Amino acid sequence: MIDNLVQWATLLSPIISVIAIVAALKVANGSSKDAQKQIAAIRHLLDVFVAANNLDIVEAQRKYQEQLAKLDKEIEDAQMKFDMVSPFIGGAKIHQIMAVQEKAEQKAHLDQLLTKRMEIEVNLSLIQDYIKKATR
């Protein structure tokens, strides 16, 4: 009798294993579909979030571009003033000193404008990167 049970157990063991594997595959397939639905829902929520914030981002981008255009004009004017030769180069010593000081002030102002331009360009670059990532 025990031999009979051992034989039946030996025969049924692979069959039971196959049934267990099929059941596990069915459960995994159902879980996978649920996970895919959750991922789709999360993506939808992210799209809604991005769409709501894109108006603010686009507005900020427009303002930075306007600032950059104004700044470019200021830089052009400052560069022209800096490049202009002073008529007092060969004049009295006081005029030479004043001309050197004025050039130093013009150079400092020009450097300040160029630094501000770089900051705006970095901000615009960050906005562009965000928009590229958001629209993938």
The three-state (H, E, C) secondary structure of the chain, written as one string: CHHHHHHHHHHHHHHHHHHHHHHHHHHHHHHHHHHHHHHHHHHHHHHHHHHHHHHHHHHHHHHHHHHHHHHHHHHHHHHHHHHCCCCCCCCCHHHHHHHHHHHHHHHHHHHHHHHHHHHHHHHHHHHHHHHHHHCC
Q: Which residues form the domain of 118?
A: 2-134
Structure confidence at residue 52 (pLDDT): 64
pLDDT tens digits, residue range 18-36?
777 777 777 777 777 777 7
At residue 118 the predicted structure's pLDDT band, cuts being 50, 70 and 90, is: very high
Structure confidence at residue 9 (pLDDT): 66
At residue 129 the predicted structure's pLDDT band, cuts being 50, 70 and 90, is: confident
Split into its structural domains, the chain has a count of 1
Q: Which residue has the higher pLDDT, 74 or 130?
A: 74
- pLDDT, average across residues 100-123: 90
- pLDDT, average across residues 92-109: 81
pLDDT tens digits, residue range 32-89?
777 778 777 777 777 666 666 667 777 888 899 999 999 999 999 999 888 887 665 5
Structure confidence at residue 47 (pLDDT): 67
Q: Which residue has the higher pLDDT, 118 or 3?
A: 118
